[in-house]
Amino acid sequence: MHFHSLSLNGHHTTISELLSKSKKGDKISCKIRDPRFIGIFYEIESRGTDIFPPLLSQSLSMSKVHQALHYMDYMVPNTQVLFRMFHIRNVLRKYVEKNILKAVVKEDRASMGMGVHPCWSLNELARLIIHVIKPPIVVQPMLENFREFRLVILGDTIVAKEKKKKGGIFWNTRIFGGITKFITPSRQIVEFGKEMMNIGKFPWAYIDLFVTDDGVFLSQINLSGSNAGLKDYNLNSLKREMIERWLAAK
């Protein structure tokens, strides 16, 4: 399915109807699932329509590369985006100069940790990029001492969990056996998360953060995420209520 809950002024519609009928002042709500359609919605928005969630937040949710470019100043220092294979030379040169010997590669549109690849040496990094995966990709230094948190912010509802690895496995997602523990988030973490939402025009967000001795860094941000363990918060209902308030507002 390319879209989820596609509506025009509160009524179910199709992309064909949007293209032929939408006009200035109309309100369109949907969750775009296929990045190939984002350009169509930008064209519809150019007519003067309002789209919710905002297209910037939807585009950022679908692309690790877009996130890295948009949030570069808030991510792990020396984060790099590679658009072509030969750009690996520049990354290797920079990492050698800064004595960065381990890295993490993120594929652009993968999810659930499936597109995150640890590289325990720069030789492994070069081999991975040259022989295994193709750009565009994001390359970041591998953090050694850090804590990772999942922060969910939806209106006044704020939920935080600490994510931990299990059994020496690099990945900490549930599919790889990772475990989570609910915590009371610090003011610093919450304020950082809200700032990331404002920058990306997120009405709500699932935010992964790294906390180190040097500060807080963004790992990723998305309109969607796992609701495991969050049933009592009725997040889907809260999202629907937010959409209904947006539709009702003049």
pLDDT 10s digits, 121-144 = 999 999 999 899 989 999 999 998
Identify whether residues 113 and 160 lie together within a single domain: no
Question: Could you give the CA distance from residue 206 to residue 94 in angstroms, rounded to a whole number?
Answer: 32
Question: Could you give the CA distance from residue 169 to residue 34 in angstroms, rounded to a whole number?
Answer: 31
Per-residue pLDDT at 174 exceeds 80: no
Query: pLDDT value at position 184?
Result: 95
Which of 115, 141, 167 is the last residue in one of the domains?
A: 141
Identify whether residues 46 and 82 lie together within a single domain: no
Q: In the chain, pLDDT over 90 holds for what percent of residues?
A: 68
Query: pLDDT value at position 226?
Result: 80
Query: pLDDT value at position 170?
Result: 61
Identify the domain containing residue 23 by its residue range.
3-52
- Report, as an integer, the average pLDDT of 90-94: 94
Q: Which residue has the tokens 């998360």?
A: 193
Question: Could you give the CA distance from residue 81 to residue 232 in angstroms, rounded to a whole number?
Answer: 39
- Report, as an integer, the average pLDDT of 7-13: 85
Confidence of residue 169 (pLDDT cuts 50, 70, 90): low
**Contact 190/157 with Cβ under 8 angstroms?**
no
**Rounded alpha-carbon distances, angstroms, from residue 127 to 86, 92, 117, 132, 139:** 12, 12, 12, 7, 13
Q: What is the CATH number of the domain that holds 181?
A: 3.30.470.20
Query: pLDDT value at position 90?
Result: 93
CA angle 110, 222, 131 (to 5 degrees): 20
Q: Which residue has the tokens 């297209």?
A: 55
Per-residue pLDDT at 208 exceeds 70: yes
Per DSSP, the three-state class of 56 is: helix
Per-residue pLDDT at 202 exceeds 70: yes
Query: pLDDT value at position 1?
Result: 45
The pTM of this model reads 0.92
Per-residue pLDDT at 118 exceeds 50: yes
Q: Which of 198, 224, 218 is nearest to 111 (CA)?
A: 224
Per-residue pLDDT at 58 exceeds 70: yes
Confidence of residue 173 (pLDDT cuts 50, 70, 90): low
Q: Before 54, cis peptide (omega within 30)?
A: no
Identify whether residues 131 and 170 lie together within a single domain: no
The two beta strands, 27-32 and 50-52, are: parallel
Per-residue pLDDT at 225 exceeds 70: yes
Question: Could you give the CA distance from residue 122 to residue 93 in angstroms, rounded to a whole number?
Answer: 10
Question: Could you give the CA distance from residue 126 to residue 138 in angstroms, rounded to a whole number?
Answer: 13
Per-residue pLDDT at 178 exceeds 80: no
Q: Report if residue 67 sits inside a domain.
A: no
Identify whether residues 123 and 191 lie together within a single domain: no
CA 59, distance to chain mean position in Å, is: 9
**Rounded alpha-carbon distances, angstroms, from residue 114 to 15, 53, 82, 173, 233:** 31, 26, 19, 9, 27
Which of 94, 113, 141 is the last residue in one of the domains?
A: 141
Whole-number mean pLDDT of the chain? 90
Per-residue pLDDT at 86 exceeds 80: yes
Identify whether residues 221 and 131 lie together within a single domain: no
Alpha-carbon Rg for the chain, nearest whole angstrom, is 19
CA 193, distance to chain mean position in Å, is: 12
For the chain, the domain total comes to: 3
- Report, as an integer, the average pLDDT of 17-27: 90
